C-alpha cells in the first residue's frame, strides 16, 4: 500500500479522465470562458481500493453531468490524494457538487472530499501554479492533457452500467469484443431487441457500417424515425449473382435454397447440376435454364417441375439487385410474405456480403445485425458457421439475438466471443449458457432473476462475467 501505488492508480485514471475532459474543451492553461465557474475539492484517499472506486465515480459523473471534471494530482509525503475541479455553468456546478458529495459520503468511507475554493480565478491560478511546479520537476504532477478521442480509452460501445458494484461503473465493449461477434440471449421480453438497437446505434456513432436484417419489422419503425433507410427486399432485389459466380459459392447456394425452400434430395441434386452445367449469370437465367432442362423420364419431369415451382418463387424479388447506398440501413424482411422466402433472402444476402468481403470489395468495418437469429441458424447452419468463424478477417462482423441459445450450433457459439445474457428461464437454455461461459452455479442462478434490460456480460476483455444494466435511454 505505498504512495507509488496510489500514484499509479490515480495517474492512469486521471489521464484517461483528462482525455475525456479535453473533448469538452476545458484546457489546462487557457482562460476559462466568462460563464465558466469552478469548484475545487481536495480529495484525501486512505486506501487503494477506495481510490479506484473514486476514480470510477469521477469518470461516471463526468459522463453523466453537464459540468466537467478535472483531476489534478498532488502528492506530498504523508498526504495522498488529489485535487478535483468541477467546472461549468454556476447552477450545473452546484447541482453536480451536491450529487458528488452525497455519493462520496454515502458510498466511499475511505475518501474525504473538502471544498477548497469556489471561484474561477482561484481555480485557474491553482491549476497554473501546479503546472509550473510540475515543469520545475517537483512532485506535483498535473497530467498532460491528451486530445485523443475518448472512445479509444474506454471502448467503442457503451453498453450501460454495472449493477454488481457499490457504485454504477460504466461498461464498454471495445473493438476486440465487437470484432469477435456478439450474441444476445434471453427469454421473451427480457430486452434483447432493445440491446441490439443500443449497440447498433453506438456502432454507427463509431463509424461502423450497420446493416440490420429485421425479421419482424419492429426495428424498421423505430429506426426510420431516426433517419435510417428502411429498405424493402422486393425492390432492392436478391443478391444471387455473387453466389452464381464460382463453383464453391454455387454449392453454398444449393445448400441455402435446399434448406430454406425445402428441396428434396433429387431436387437439390438437379439444381446443383443445372448450376454447374449451364452456369446461369442471374436469377432469370437460372429459372429459364431449369425450365428448359432435358427430361429423360417421367421421374425427371416431376423432379424438374417441382424444383421449378420452388425456385420460381424467387421471382418475387426484382431481377436486378441494386446495392443499397449508405452505411446504415434496415432490410425489412417482414414485408416478404412467405417465411421460407424470407429465410432464403436473408441467408443469400448475408452470404453474398461475406463473399464480397472475402474478395476484398469492402474494407469498412461492417456489422450485420440479426434479431430472431434462430430463424436463420436453425437447420442449414453450415454457412452461418463458416461466416462466424471466418468473416472477422474480412472486417465483417455479426451481432445477433435469439431466445433459444440451445438451438445454436456449438461452432457458432464458440465463435461468438462476446455474450450478453438477459433473463433466461428455460433449464435447457441455461445449461447451454453455463457450459459456453463456464459459469459458476451462483451466477447461473442469477439469470432467472434478472429484470428487463439487465444482463450478464462476458467478452474477450471482460473475462469474468459481470452484471450490467443496459442503457436504454438512447
Ligand atoms: N435496457 C432496458 N431498460 C429498460 N427497459 C427495457 C430495456 N430493455 C428492454 N426494456 C423493455 O422491456 C420490454 C421488452 O424489450 P424487448 O422487446 O427489447 O425484449 P425482447 O427480449 O426482444 O422480447 P421478444 O423476445 O419479445 O422479442 C420493452 O417494453 C422494453 O422497453
Ligand atoms: Mg425482440
Domain ranges of the chain: 3-148, 157-238+325-470, 241-316
pLDDT band at 127, cuts 50/70/90? Answer: low
Q: Is it the case that residue 168 has pLDDT exceeding 80? A: no
Give the span between the Cα atoms of 203 and 195, in whole angstroms. 12
Q: pLDDT at position 72, please? A: 61
3-class secondary-structure state, position 69? strand
Q: Confidence band (pLDDT; 50, 70, 90) for 80?
A: low
Q: Which candidate, 172, 126, 144, places its Cα nearest to that of 16?
A: 144
Q: Is 453 in the pocket of ligand 1 (CB under 6 A)?
A: yes
Ligand 1 pocket check for 219: Cβ under 6 Å: no
Lowest mean pLDDT among 96-105, 113-122, 218-227, 259-268: 113-122
Q: 3-148 with 157-238+325-470: one CATH topology?
A: no
What is the mean predicted confidence (pLDDT) over 118-133?
Answer: 56
Nearest CA to ligand 1 atom 2: 453
What average pLDDT does this structure show over 71-100?
Answer: 73
Separation of CA 407 and ligand 2 centre (Å) = 17
Segment 140-149 mean pLDDT: 30
Give the global pTM.
0.71
- Residue 274 is predicted with a pLDDT of 97
**Digit-coded pLDDT (tens) for 328-377:** 889 999 999 999 999 999 999 999 999 999 887 657 899 999 999 998 88
Average pLDDT over residues 241-254: 94
pLDDT in tens, 174-214: 999 999 999 999 999 999 999 999 999 999 988 899 999 99
pLDDT tens digits for 314-328? 999 987 887 777 778
Q: Ligand 1 in contact with 424 (CB < 6 A)? A: no
Rounded Cα gap, residues 202 and 328, in angstroms: 12
Kindly indicate the confidence band of residue 378, based on its pLDDT and cuts at 50, 70 and 90.
confident
- Measuring from atom 25 of ligand 1, which residue has the nearest CA? 188
Of the listed ranges 67-81, 107-121, 342-356, 403-417, the one predicted with least confidence: 67-81
Per-position b or e across 91-103, b if 16+ CB within 10 A of its CB = ebbbebbeebeeb
136, containing H or E segment: none
Q: pLDDT, tens digit, for every residue of 422-468? A: 999 999 999 999 988 889 898 899 999 999 999 999 999 888 899 99
**What's the chain's Rg over C-alpha atoms?**
28
* Protein residue whose Cα sits closest to atom 14 of ligand 1: 189
Using the predicted structure, report yes or no on whether residue 25 has a pLDDT greater than 50: no
- Report which protein residue has its CA nearest ligand 1's atom 6: 453
Query: For residue 382, what is the enclosing H or E element?
Result: helix 382-390
| Nearest atom within ligand 1 for CA of residue 471 | 1
CA distances to 191, 205, 223, 238, 324 from 328, in Å: 22, 11, 10, 18, 9
Superfamily of domain 3-148: Ribosomal protein S10 (3.30.70.600)
User: Is 1 near ligand 1, meaning CB less than 6 Å away?
Assistant: no
Please give the CATH number for the structural domain made up of 157-238+325-470. Answer: 3.40.50.300
- Cell numbers at 80, concatenated: 495522498
Average pLDDT, the chain: 81
d(Cα 88, Cα 39) in Å, to the nearest integer?
9
Cβ–ligand 1 distance for 472 under 6 Å, the answer: yes
Q: Are 359 and 248 in contact (CB under 8 A)?
A: no
- Between CA 21 and CA 178 the distance in angstroms is 26
Q: Which ligand is nearest to the CA of 194?
A: 1
**pLDDT for the residue numbered 119:** 60
162 Cβ below 6 A of ligand 1: no
Is the CB of residue 207 below 6 angstroms from any atom belonging to ligand 1? no
Amino acid at each position: 500500500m505505498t504512495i507509488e501505488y496510489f500514484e499509479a492508480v490515480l495517474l492512469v485514471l486521471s489521464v484517461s479522465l483528462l482525455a475525456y475532459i479535453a473533448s469538452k474543451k476545458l484546457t489546462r492553461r487557457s482562460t476559462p470562458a466568462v460563464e465558466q465557474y469552478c469548484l475545487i475539492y481536495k480529495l484525501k484517499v486512505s486506501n487503494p481500493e477506495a481510490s479506484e472506486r473514486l476514480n470510477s465515480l469521477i469518470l461516471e459523473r463526468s459522463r453523466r453531468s453537464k459540468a466537467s471534471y478535472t483531476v489534478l494530482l498532488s502528492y506530498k509525503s504523508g498526504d495522498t490524494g488529489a485535487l478535483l475541479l468541477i467546472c461549468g455553468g454556476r447552477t450545473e456546478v452546484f447541482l453536480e457538487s451536491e450529487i458528488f458529495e452525497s455519493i462520496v459520503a454515502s458510498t466511499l468511507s475511505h475518501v474525504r472530499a473538502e471544498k477548497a475554493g469556489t471561484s474561477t480565478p482561484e481555480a485557474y491560478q491553482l491549476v497554473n501554479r501546479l503546472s509550473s511546479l510540475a515543469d520545475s520537476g517537483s512532485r506535483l504532477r498535473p497530467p498532460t492533457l491528451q486530445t485523443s478521442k475518448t472512445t479509444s480509452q474506454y471502448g467503442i460501445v457503451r453498453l450501460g452500467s454495472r449493477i454488481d458494484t457499490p457504485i454504477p461503473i460504466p461498461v464498454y465493449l471495445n473493438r476486440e469484443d465487437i470484432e469477435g461477434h456478439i450474441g444476445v440471449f434471453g427469454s421473451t421480453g427480457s430486452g434483447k431487441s432493445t440491446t441490439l438497437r443500443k449497440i447498433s446505434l453506438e456502432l454507427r456513432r463509431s463509424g461502423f457500417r450497420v446493416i440490420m436484417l429485421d425479421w419482424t419489422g419492429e426495428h424498421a419503425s423505430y429506426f426510420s424515425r431516426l433517419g435510417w433507410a428502411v429498405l424493402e427486399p422486393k425492390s432492392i432485389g436478391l443478391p444471387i449473382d455473387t453466389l452464381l459466380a464460382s463453383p464453391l459459392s454455387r454449392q453454398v447456394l444449393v445448400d441455402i435454397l435446399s434448406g430454406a425452400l425445402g428441396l428434396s434430395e433429387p431436387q437439390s441434386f438437379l439444381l446443383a447440376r443445372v448450376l454447374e452445367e449451364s452456369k446461369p449469370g442471374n436469377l432469370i437465367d437460372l429459372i429459364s435454364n431449369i425450365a428448359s432442362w432435358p427430361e429423360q423420364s417421367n421421374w425427371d419431369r416431376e423432379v424438374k417441375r417441382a424444383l421449378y415451382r420452388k425456385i420460381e418463387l424467387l421471382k418475387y424479388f426484382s431481377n436486378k439487385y441494386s446495392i443499397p447506398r449508405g452505411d446504415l440501413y434496415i432490410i425489412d424482411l417482414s414485408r416478404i410474405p412467405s417465411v421460407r422466402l424470407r429465410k432464403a433472402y436473408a441467408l443469400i444476402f448475408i452470404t453474398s456480403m461475406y463473399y464480397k468481403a472475402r474478395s476484398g470489395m469492402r474494407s469498412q468495418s461492417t456489422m450485420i445485425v440479426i434479431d430472431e437469429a434462430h430463424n436463420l441458424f436453425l437447420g442449414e447452419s453450415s454457412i452461418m458457421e463458416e461466416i462466424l468463424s471466418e468473416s472477422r478477417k474480412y472486417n465483417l462482423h455479426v451481432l445477433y439475438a435469439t431466445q433459444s441459445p440451445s438451438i445454436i450450433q456449438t461452432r457458432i457459439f464458440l465463435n461468438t466471443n462476446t455474450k450478453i445474457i438477459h433473463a433466461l428461464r428455460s433449464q435447457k437454455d441455461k445449461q447451454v449458457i453455463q457450459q459456453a461461459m463456464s459459469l459458476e452455479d451462483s451466477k447461473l442462478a442469477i439469470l432467472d432473476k434478472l429484470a428487463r434490460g439487465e444482463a450478464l456480460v462476458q467478452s474477450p476483455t471482460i473475462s469474468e462475467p459481470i452484471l450490467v444494466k443496459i442503457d436504454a435511454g438512447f
